[in-house]
Amino acid sequence: QVQLVESGGGLVQAGDSLRLSCAASGRTFSSYAMGWFRQAPGKEREFVAAIRRRDENTYYADSVKGRFTISRDNAKNTVYLQMNSLKPEDTAVYYCAAADVLTPTPALYHNWGQGTQVTVSS
């Protein structure tokens, strides 16, 4: 019973930066952890990063480690994904999701946003 809305996507060139936002509403107390996933055409949905509410412990996919940073503002019920040094292979629809455990497994996330498109040109 938590609603998630992503924003901040767009069209950028390789090497540029973007910051995605995920605004949560409803029963936000149930959000133990929040994650970011992405899905490109013809590809499986893949884990990007996650953050735990209690202590802001984070978990990153190897493909984005050192380039992307996940953070959250609990007072604003918002999670962010700062994306630096973007590459064409980062092109995808990016989704945020809520889970009851800090995990990279999509099936363990019970609420999903509608997604925001990120396109990186070479």
pLDDT given at position 121:
97
Share of residues in the chain with pLDDT > 90 (%): 84
Query: How far apart are the C-alpha atoms of 100 and 52, rounded to whole Å?
Result: 9
The string of pLDDT tens digits covering residues 93-122 is 999 999 999 999 999 999 999 999 999 999
Whether residue 79 has pLDDT greater than 70: yes
The string of pLDDT tens digits covering residues 14-36 is 999 999 999 999 876 657 899 99
Residue 2: pLDDT band with limits 50, 70, 90: confident
pLDDT given at position 102:
95
- Please name the residues in contact with 21: beta carbons below 8 A apart, sequence gap of 6 or more: 6, 7, 8, 78, 79, 80
Whether residue 39 has pLDDT greater than 90: yes
pLDDT given at position 29:
61
Whether residue 56 has pLDDT greater than 90: no
* Dihedral, 61, 62, 66, 71 alpha carbons, nearest 10: 10
Whether residue 92 has pLDDT greater than 90: yes
For residues 35-56, one letter each, b for 16 or more C-beta atoms within 10 angstroms of the residue's C-beta and e for the rest, the string is bbbbeeeeeeeebbbbbbbeee
What mean pLDDT, rounded, does the chain reach? 94
Q: Are 115 and 5 in contact (CB under 8 A)?
A: no
90 SS3 class: helix
Q: What is the CA radius of gyration of the chain?
A: 13
